[in-house]
Amino acid sequence: ADLEVVKKRFSMFFQTGLDALLRQLGTDQVILAGVNTHACIRMAAIGAYQRDLEVIIVGECVASRDVRHHDVTLDYLDGGVARVLTLKELGEQSMGNRS
């Protein structure tokens, strides 16, 4: 069954119960995609990092209305808070984990 978490603020963890759900499921990694890279993706990545989760952002699957803020945010997050991967890289990593 699909699990649904509704967020009403920039952070996916703010008053959503997601933190407890991820712990209950034993999750150690999140893969982020979505809009407003400069706000929602940034807050999600930092929130997950602060909870000791591995954070992957799929570069082709995030966007902002402001390209400059989008680029600055990905540069800031990549290599510190998160890893920014292409879809191809994510697929290759996933296939590598299966062997």
Q: How far is CA 50 from the centre of its chain?
A: 12
Rg (CA), the chain: 14
For each of the domains in the chain, give its residue range(s) and CATH number, in order of start.
18-98 (3.40.50.850)
- Model pTM score: 0.91
pLDDT of the chain, 99 residues: tens digit per residue: 788 999 999 999 999 999 999 999 999 999 999 999 999 999 999 999 999 999 999 999 999 999 999 999 999 999 999 999 999 999 998 887 765
Question: Cβ distance 61 to 33 under 8 Å?
Answer: yes
Per-residue b/e over 53-65, b at no fewer than 16 CB within 10 Å?
bebbbbbebbebe
Cβ–Cβ contacts within 10 Å for residue 48, how many? 25
DSSP string, 56-72: EEEEEEEE-SSHHHHHH
Identify the bridge partners of residue 63 per DSSP, sorted by sequence position.
35
So what's the pLDDT on residue 80? 96
